[in-house]
Amino acid sequence: MGYGISVRALLRENATDTRSQLWYDYESIRKKGHPTKVIYGGFLPPFIVTMLKSKSRKRAAASRESMKGQRDKRVRKDDRRSPDRTRILKIFYRLTVPGGLLLLISALLVRAGFMSDAQTPFVQFYAYFVFGVGLLLSAFFKRSRLFFAILVVILSERTLAWFATRFLSTGTGHGVFEAIAVLLPINLLALTFMRDRGIISPAGRQRVIFIAVQIFAVMILLSLPKQVHAAALLDHAFVAPHFVNWSAISQPALLAFVVAAVAMIISLIRRYQPVESSLYWALVAAFVALQMGRGNHLATMYFSTGGLILIIAVLETSYAMAYRDELTQLPSRRSLNETLLKLGDSYSIGMLDVDNFKKFNDTYGHEAGDQALRMVASKLSTIAGGGKPFRYGGEEFTVVFPDKSVGEAYTYLDTMRKMIEQSAFTVRGKDRRRQAKKSKAAQNGTRDVEVNVTVSVGVAARDEERTSPDLVIRSADKALYRAKAKGRNRTIAVKPASEEMRIVSIR
């Protein structure tokens, strides 16, 4: 005996490139022994529809495997060429932008003749404006190191512009010039390794006193009857003069600049910070300024450029406080929210969570937990495919892939998951020096512990069901918890709605 059903079924073949679709629209009505009306394709009894569905699923699975293989090849190609080159380019960028770029622009303006003697009034205004704004901004944002750096630079520039030009032909003018050339790099180097501890605080008052002592010491030495001896000390030659004839400053000053520059570069390579970068380029700008001579308007321009570099560092650090996570140095939740507002119609979002992080903290301590988060963040910062990592909160991270499908994002994220799993992580104490480690091992009878840090990942993409970033994040978060429920250390993607077989309506 026949039977009837009333169903509209939609099948879409999972072929991402061709987007080919198989539509079967059929209707068998009432219980009259056989279907009496078929809208498409002739008679389609239920068992035939079931067979077609099975065949469609097989083709969809084959298509997914083919697409996954192609994506894996692209990812492997990206991974072969990206890590080392990306790291080198990142270091180069951090070392040269914006300080090196601003200094290069200043040099090009001088080379092109835009800073002739006729432009001296403009250069003077430029200096007063830059140093005034720099002192106000650094004080307002409580950037004490930058405040004192700007103060040291402006004192050096004003002293050369006023004192050295009036006593240029005497030994006093020469002594002031050489004293500034020696003391300026020493002060900038000292500020590099200090912390921001306030301007009018006890630490700030000590720094003011330190600067004042240097000024009075130079004045006293150069006012003594035997100032020739002080000037000779500043002009002491360590090597034959013909080796450094190209420099306008003495050999002690040149040595001070070289030592300061090398120490700053090493510090920047080990860990980049906008303040340290700006201090380094302010040092370079001061060196170029001193090469211009005593009281020259070109020297004023280069000193002012150094002040401008320090101002940009004030703005950079203020931005970083608002938009960058202090622990991991990844963009923060606020930065993520602004990024989500700028996304188009095609994007994927991955949610990552460090596995068993609470247990890790309880076992090895919060300091080790922070080290683990920094390690994971450093790996995520190198993710391929144009992914933008953010710290979402706690031990959770977010990676946004603009213009990437869920399959592509899945491949990049799973590659990153494996990379984190294979990374050796050693739990160390807060003090990592050899002597401290030896003494700790001797006292406790323990060694550094190597552990495996793993992450679970969930990924979802925007589609007709998930039309907003919040919905995509919610879906990715659900996939993340499914990954944890299935044993952790795995990646689970939410299947796009366009690739799912759905019953649209049942009558």
Query: Which superfamily does 333-506 belong to?
Result: Reverse transcriptase/Diguanylate cyclase domain (3.30.70.270)
Tell me: pLDDT of 322 over 70.
yes
Among 44-48, 102-106, 272-276, 337-341, the range scoring the smallest mean pLDDT is: 44-48
The pLDDT value given to residue 243: 80
Confidence of residue 220 (pLDDT cuts 50, 70, 90): confident
CA-to-CA distance for 32 and 6, rounded, in angstroms? Answer: 13
Closest alpha carbon to 53 in 376, 61, 416: 61
User: Which of the residue ranges 16-30, 295-309, 437-451 has the most confident prediction, judged by mean pLDDT?
Assistant: 295-309
Residues 46 and 16: beta-carbon distance below 8 Å: no
pLDDT at 247 (0 to 100): 87
Q: Which residue has the higher pLDDT, 98 or 151?
A: 151
Residue 411 · residue 75 · CB < 8 Å: yes
Sheet holding 21-24, edge to edge: 21-24, 7-12, 502-506
Query: Where does 13-165 show beta strands of DSSP type E?
Result: 21-24
Residue 164, pLDDT > 50, answer yes
pLDDT at 52 over 50: yes
Residue 359 or 85, more confident:
359
What is the rounded average pLDDT for all residues in the chain? Answer: 80
Lowest mean pLDDT among 82-86, 216-220, 322-326, 331-335: 82-86
- Residue 43 is predicted with a pLDDT of 46
Tens of pLDDT, residues 256-279: 999 999 999 999 888 888 999 999
Mean pLDDT of 360-368: 91
Lowest mean pLDDT among 50-59, 100-109, 410-419, 439-448: 439-448
Q: Are 400 and 342 in contact (CB under 8 A)?
A: no
- Predicted pLDDT at 350: 97
**Cα separation of 47 and 190, whole Å?**
83
Token reading at 114 = 């835009």
Q: Does position 482 have pLDDT exceeding 50, yes or no?
A: yes
Label residue 38 by pLDDT band (50, 70, 90).
Answer: very low
More confident residue, 47 or 80: 47
The fraction of the chain above a pLDDT of 70, given in percent, is 73
> What's the pTM value of the predicted model, to 2 decimals?
0.69
- Asked if 156 and 184 touch (Cβ cutoff 8 Å), the reply is yes
pLDDT at position 35 is: 41
Pairing state between β 491-493 and 455-461: parallel
Question: Is the pLDDT at 503 greater than 80, yes or no?
Answer: no
The full 3-state SS of 209-261, as one line of letters, equals HHHHHHHHHHHHHHHCCCHHHHHHHHCCCCCCHHHCCCCCCCHHHHHHHHHHH
pLDDT at 119 > cutoff 50? yes
Give me the residue spans of the domains in the chain: 7-72, 90-323, 333-506
Residues taking part in catalysis: 395
CA 453 to chain centre: 22
